[in-house]
Amino acid sequence: MQKFYFLFAFTIFSLGFSQSISLYNPNLGGAVYGPEQYFCTGEKFDLKVDAVASSTGDYLMTGETPGMFPLSAGSTPITFMATGTDKFSNPIDIGFSFSFYGIDYTKVVAGSNGRLVFTNDARLNNLVDNTTYIDRTFNVAPNISTLASKDYNKVFKNNPSQELDLAQIFFGYTNLVPKSQLPKVAYNYKRVTYNGKDGLLISFQNLTLTDYSSSYDSSVLLLQDGKIVIYVNQKTRDNYNAILGIQNESGTKAKVPVHSSGGNYNNGPWKSEGKAWLFTPNQQLTPVFKWTNNGNPVGTNSDTLSNFTPSEGDVVKLEVTYLEDASILKTNQVIFKKIPTPVISSNSAGGCVSDVTLTVPNDPYLNFEWYREGNTTVLGTGNSYDATATGNYYVRALRKTLPICSVDSAPFSLNLNSTIPAFNATNLPLNFCDTTGAASKTINLYDYYPQNPSYTVLFTEGTVPVPNPANFVIAGNTVRNLNIKVNDAASGCSIDKDFPLRFDALPAKVTDLPKRYCFGETSVDVSQYLQDLAGPNFSVFDYEYSTNGTTYTSNFIFNPTQNPKIWVKISPKNSVSSTCTTISTIIFTEDPKVTANAPTTQLPPKCASAQTFDLASLIPEINPDPNVTVTFHNTLQDATTGSGAVSYNFRSGLGLTTLYIRAVSNITGCVSPDHPSITLLVYNKPNVLVNPISQSNCAGNTVFNLTQNADLLTDAAPPVTVTLEYYSANGAPLTPSQITNYDASIYGANPYIKVIYNTTCSDIINFNLAYNPKPVANQSDILICSETTYSLQDFKIKAVGNPSNYTFTDLSGNPLPASFDLTLLPQTINFLLKDNITGCTSDPQAINFVKGANSPLLTTFADITECDSDFDGKTEFKLDDVKNDFTTPDATFEYFKDAGLTQSISSNYTNETAFAQTVYVRITIPGFCPTVAKIYLKVNTPTKSSKLDDKYFICYQNTVSSTTSYLPVKIDAGTENDYFLWSDGQTSQVATFDQPGNYSVTYKKGINGCPYTHTFTISDENQPKIQVINQTNTSIEVIANGGEKPYRYYFNGVPQTSNILQNPTAPSYDIQVESATGCFGPPQTVYFIKINNAFTPNGDGINDVWKIENIDQMERVSIQIVDRNGAKVFESTTPDKSEWDGKMNGRALPTSTYWYVVSWYDAVTQKTEQRQGWILLKNRD
């Protein structure tokens, strides 16, 4: 039961922005009431509610001019260790204690989609691991979450429902393109000062959606006084959802501004308004106070209840609501209890004893004082007292808290008539305190009980007599448990009493012990200096701490900047005296700040083959003091704790690596509060884009310009730099003039370039120096047939084949004429050729125009005859088939439709005049002029049969016949032709078929006649085909389809007009159906399944078992039989175990009716059947 006050100032500090309220006494220095409060008769109390009652602990939002705040972009990169989207950064040190929704934070992590997250959970340092955590958004239907929502605590990648409590600030939070995909995106931070307060600015620049649309900038300013500024600038699109606002760790409270133009900042569409939103903590509201006592109103609408006179068990309760927000309710109450009257008990009723121990029940919230009537002196304290004299005793119970009030017990009468003195009759102390650091104390035990010849006295410790009671030595900070035995042989009175002796030896007072603390350190553990104050055995004492020498607490963590002097009260453990203390003091002095400058020198990138960085080279820029040790670490956490320092010769992995700097004074051990970072780049060696470099000159020119553009040789990109060094074939460096005028005949045919990347790795690129030949004309003569002029273009084509690549001039460099006059032959043309690609010019060339003769042919005409299967007299002719009729195949053949050779045709030509046409061919033999010949085209047609049809019909034979195959169908192809080939290989005029299907016959008249192919179908569609066969225990039903009705049905060859066979007797039936035209369909064989309804298992050999006829012909058989109660008596799933003998588990069942369910699969009908019914079992009972 808590019945004491706390110091109000400490309570308010500890509550922060808590939603709870405290009640305190305004007249006693702000002492807080506990849940229960002792009182004395007639006592009055004042109760007041703390200042937190008039605050929501929430934020006030105002739209401000952005220019009021230092919002220019930061310069220190925020590092994201992973590429890709939806990721978190490494933690950023805020630089001060930032209070957000009543919780203090020192680190923050950025999400790539536009939010900051805070937590004191150690997992904050791991959020950068994108294999475990994800910056998950909820802004696309149907998964849209508005603030406040715990959805934004769901940051686990592989368990989307798992939550991590995160306080969050959203600044345009949506699906954003990361810097790894769009290099212009920038994430930075910097430290600023605003209105005398430290601040941290986080800036995201050039943000855009995944569609790479217009970009915008976002900034968040965190201030030391808990204020937050959010500014989203140039967000011009409002066709997607985004968030601007804040939310607490539990996802239960949030603040989102109201958009002035109808936008929705709470995960809706919105545009920037040109405002910077300021969030100010601890919004003040107007409280309404309601005081009640046992549910009845007391007092007024005030934060104070005055002059309250309690009765036993009164419950005073305060409810606080707010005019601005009726949903907020805060309460507290105090239960008042009257100090109980103590009742004394004793361990003896008196008589021949020298002392009696009086006791009352202990109460940790009451003090006790013992008195004997007639004497106002306090005899003792605590809940027990050893009385040594006859008299009336009483005890006073006093409330420990101010103001003191008390209650006295009833008197307790004690009569002592011992003949020997009482133990410690003068009430000497049993507990001793020394504050000089004494190691031991000597005590005369006879001071507690004097020696006398009339009685004997014996002091023992355990079972061992104390050897020298007059000089009993007790070590410091120990308790010795002794016993005294006194005996008066004459009276028979005696004492046998245990008593402890305690010696608390406290260390001597230390005044202003000097201690130092590191610059910027906001908390110091004073307990680390206890050995300096109390010596090596410091752990045997209790300690309390104070910042003013008056008020002490067990808290040993202090801010040395605010409290440079600390008082330390040293007490014995389990002290029996509040005055046995030593008070020492410690004076704290701040050490100078250990500097850790961000180095301005950027270590150049390294190639993957030489990726060791000299980190020590940066130390003079970071801190040149030889008494400061500078180390580099992979994470900010490691740099903060000093673990995992990397080697100064640091070998980095591929890509970007960020290292964090730690600077420690070797003298003071202080660590710089700053941990700047450096970024190292290790790149794969760039790829060479060309090797070798090919250069060519015209034959005869050996001088080359080797100059190259480095950007065209490799794919190196900044920050990788490329340097080119040129070397001759023998490895000698080339001068600039030698590079531009490299003579291969002097320096060698194989020069090369050394490509150097950032001085750390290199490649060799060779030159391939080649010489282009001078162009030469393809031929020396041009054959002239009937031409009188020859165009320059035709001349060029004859000369080189691809004249557009060459320039033709006469020997003086002048253009050649547009045409040449061929009146006189032969004629010689002299000219020069320049290759327009290589620039090389030929030696003088000459081509002669000479008169040619006509191509000699074997004949001037040829015939081609083809067949036409569609009888229109037109078909395709392969004109090339008659080339050999005219001349050798290496001649050139050109085909024409007309004699004037103006209408050219393809070599695969379809005649345009039905049945006969003449075409023309121009034939040119190499070295001769062309000759014209004729080709006569003739078309023949086949003779069609008058007997063939497109469809024939086939039927099955009757099953009564000797076979069950189809009836043969004979087809006559007619007498018009004399050569036949049927698709099944028959070659006679008449062919026989016994299967339905698609067939053909090819026929022609004479061996050289035109063939014709006729296709036809033999169909079984006139056959009535059995579709379904149904059975009952007494019938077989056949359902057929096809052919002409009515049908006739055959069961084992016996015909009937009904499709149902009643009372079948055969175990199986061959079933066939005949149509009205006499066409039989294919037969089917079915087994008749007959199930008997009664059996008599009496052993007479007749009906002794119940069985299902022909069930052994079926598949997937299932049989179940149950009695009238539904209990299963028989079951089988195999056809060969289908008989039931009327027993279950070998025991004969009684006469009764049973029910069966049977199912099976008939492979013939391809149906699953089921039957169910009853069975009468007639047994001998």
DSSP 295: T
342-417: CATH architecture: Sandwich (2.60)
Higher pLDDT, 1180 or 521: 521
Q: How far is CA 339 from CA 24, 398, 400, 1006, 1072, in A?
A: 20, 8, 11, 141, 113
Q: What is the mean pLDDT of residues 952-961?
A: 77
Q: DSSP assignment of 1008-1038, as one string?
A: TSPPEEEEEEEE-TTS-EEEEEEE-SSEEEE
Residue 360 CB contacts under 8 Å (≥ 6 apart), including other chains: 342, 343, 344, 345, 368, 383, 384, 395, 397, 409
Is 498 within 8 Å of 481 (Cβ atoms)? yes
More confident residue, 32 or 146: 146
Give the strands of the sheet with 761-772, arranged side by side.
693-698, 761-772, 752-757, 722-727
By CB atoms closer than 10 A (0-12, 13-18, 19+), residue 1139 is middle
pLDDT over threshold 60, residue 3: no
Q: What is the predicted pLDDT for the residue at 53?
A: 44
In the predicted model, what is the mean pLDDT of the chain? Answer: 89
Provide the pLDDT confidence category of residue 648 given band limits of 50, 70 and 90.
very high
Mean pLDDT of 239-254: 93
Give me the mean pLDDT over the 1149-1161 stretch.
92
Across 800-829, average pLDDT: 92
Per-residue model confidence as pLDDT tens digits over 95-107: 898 988 878 899 9
- Convert the pLDDT of each residue in 581-602 to its tens digit: 999 999 999 999 999 999 988 8
Percent pLDDT > 70 in the chain is 95
CATH number, span 422-505? 2.60.40
Counting residues of the chain whose pLDDT is more than 90, the rounded percentage is: 59
Burial state string for 1115-1128 with b = 16 or more CB within 10 A and e = fewer than 16 = eebebbbebeeeee
Radius of gyration, alpha carbons of the chain: 58
| Confidence band of 1021 (pLDDT split at 50, 70, 90) | confident
Does 985 score more than 70 pLDDT?
Answer: yes
> What is the structure's pLDDT at 215?
86
Band (57; pLDDT cuts 50, 70, 90): low
Architecture, CATH, for domain 8-56+286-338: Sandwich (2.60)
> pLDDT-derived band of residue 1054, with 50, 70 and 90 as boundaries?
very high
The domain spans of the chain are 8-56+286-338, 67-279, 342-417, 422-505, 507-590, 606-683, 693-772, 781-851, 861-940, 951-1011, 1025-1087, 1090-1177
Residue 52 clears pLDDT 80, i.e. is over it: no
Quick one: pLDDT band at residue 283, thresholds 50, 70, 90? Answer: low
Angle at 703 between CA 697 and CA 705, to 5 degrees: 85
Which residues, 6 or more positions from 585, have their beta carbon under 8 angstroms from its beta carbon?
Answer: 510, 511, 512, 513, 549, 565, 566, 567, 568
CATH 2.40.10 fits 1090-1177, yes or no: no
Q: Is the pLDDT of residue 636 over 70?
A: yes
- Per-residue pLDDT band for 806 (boundaries 50, 70, 90) equals very high
Number of Cβ within a 10 Å radius of residue 671: 21
**pLDDT at position 14 over 60:** no
Region of poorest pLDDT, from 81-85, 462-466, 565-569, 801-805: 81-85
On the question of pLDDT at 15 being above 60, the answer is no
pLDDT band at 1155 (very low <50, low <70, confident <90, very high): very high
Q: Is the pLDDT score of 7 beyond 70?
A: no
Q: With CA atoms as reference, report the closest residue to 189 among 276, 92, 98, 113.
A: 92
Q: What is the mean pLDDT of residues 132-153?
A: 92
CA pair distance 920, 390, nearest whole angstrom: 162
pLDDT at residue number 56 = 53
CATH of domain 606-683: 2.60.40
pLDDT tens digits along 530-556:
999 999 999 999 999 999 998 888 888
The answer on pLDDT for 1049 being more than 60 is yes
741-755: burial string, b at 16+ Cβ within 10 Å, e else: ebebeebbeebbbeb
Fold agreement (422-505, 861-940) = yes
Q: Quick one: pLDDT at residue 209? A: 83
Q: What is the mean pLDDT of residues 7-36?
A: 59
861-940: what CATH class? mainly beta
Compute the average pLDDT of residues 1144-1170. 89
pLDDT at 19: 45
**How is domain 507-590 classified at the CATH fold level?**
Immunoglobulin-like (2.60.40)
Q: Using the predicted structure, report yes or no on whether residue 578 has a pLDDT greater than 70.
A: yes
Element (H, E) at 1004: strand 997-1004
CATH architecture under which domain 693-772 falls? Sandwich (2.60)
Position with higher pLDDT, 1054 vs 211: 1054
Topology (CATH level 3) of domain 1025-1087:
Immunoglobulin-like (2.60.40)
* Contact predicate 636/657, CB 8 Å: no
Helices (H), 748-855: 792-800
989-1004 core/surface letters (b: 16 or more CB in 10 A; e: else): bebebeebeebebbbb
Question: How does pLDDT run across 169-186, given as a tens digit for each residue?
Answer: 999 999 998 887 888 899
pLDDT band for position 494 (cuts 50, 70, 90): confident
Find residue 664's DSSP bridge partners. Answer: 629, 671
Pairing of strands 513-517, 115-118: unpaired
Give the CA count within 13 Å in the CB-facing half-sphere of 256: 20
Cα–Cα distance measured from residue 75 to residue 89, given in angstroms and rounded to the nearest whole number: 16
Tens digit of pLDDT for each residue in 1095-1107? 999 888 888 899 8
pLDDT at 29: 65
pLDDT at 847 over 90: yes
Q: Which of 113, 109, 118 is nearest to 89 (CA)?
A: 109
pLDDT tens column, 303-362: 899 999 999 999 999 998 877 666 677 889 999 999 999 999 987 755 577 678 899 999
1180 pLDDT tier (thresholds 50, 70, 90)? low
Total number of residues shown for the chain: 1181
State pLDDT tens for residues 707-726. 999 999 999 888 788 999 99
Which pLDDT does position 564 carry in this prediction? Answer: 94
If you average pLDDT over residues 132-155, what whole number do you get?
Answer: 92
- pLDDT value, residue 1: 35
Q: What is the pLDDT of residues 652-670, one digit of tens each?
A: 888 889 999 999 999 998 9
Q: Grade residue 210 by pLDDT with cuts at 50, 70 and 90.
A: low
Q: What is the DSSP letter of 1106?
A: B
pLDDT of residue 16: 31
How many CB atoms lie under 10 A from the CB of residue 405?
Answer: 16
Checking if the pLDDT of 1084 tops 80, the result is: yes
